[in-house]
Amino acid sequence: MWYFTNAGLAAASKAALLHADDESLFPISDPIMGVLTFVPMAAKRQPNSFIPDMDLDINNVLIAAPHMLTVIEQGDWAPDHVQMLAALWGVLMDHKYRSSAKELDQLTWIQFQVEQCFQWHATVNGPLGACDLSDFSTIMMATTCAEIVDDLETRTTWSTNTG
């Protein structure tokens, strides 16, 4: 999603200016979809020059979501897939964790969004098609929160025992 944040879009604009006359193509392999695509060199970025979805803050996700929806609509995604992603973000926008002052709630909100998008990518080409991202329960969000707490406790225990 970082590519659709203000910083990501600015980096893409800068790269496009640097390679405006370069018509070279660069191959990119998508391990999830199993597809090899070729993109203009202007779109290539340095490794690790972006922020993984899990490390984005809520504000950047809120900025990126509408940009991403616009691009995927223009990219001829199936209308039901676009609607499903829009519905997920719509539900998440209304979720109480989005505006919570608690860091754990915010981490849960981000992680849940990341997991749902990963789940969608994992099922989209399966025999049953993409899962419905907008249909989730409070239990699913609570499970994500518990996983984050467990991970934080494991890291704390590990650093205490090794430090």
Q: Which range of residues forms the domain containing residue 99?
A: 56-163
Say if residue 77 is in the same domain as residue 151: yes
Examine the domain organization and report whether 149 and 71 are in the same domain: yes
pLDDT value at residue 46: 60
Residues 105, 131, single domain; the answer is yes
Nearest to 141 by CA among 81, 72, 77, 95: 95
Q: Which two tokens stand for residue 105?
A: 């709630």
Q: In angstroms, rounded to a whole number, what is the distance separating the alpha carbons of residues 3 and 28?
A: 15
Q: For residues 81 and 156, state if they share a domain.
A: yes
Residue 98 backbone class (left: φ over 0; alpha: ψ -120 to 50; beta: rest)? alpha
One digit per residue, the tens of pLDDT, for the chain of length 163 reads: 888 889 888 887 776 665 555 566 667 776 666 777 766 665 555 656 678 888 888 899 889 999 988 988 888 888 888 888 888 888 888 888 899 999 999 989 888 888 887 877 777 777 777 666 666 667 788 888 888 888 888 877 665 555 5
Does 87 share its domain with 138? yes
Q: Report the predicted TM-score, pTM, of the whole model to 2 decimal places.
A: 0.66
* Judgement on whether residues 40 and 114 belong to the same structural domain of the protein: no
Overall number of domains in the chain = 2
116 & 162 share domain: yes
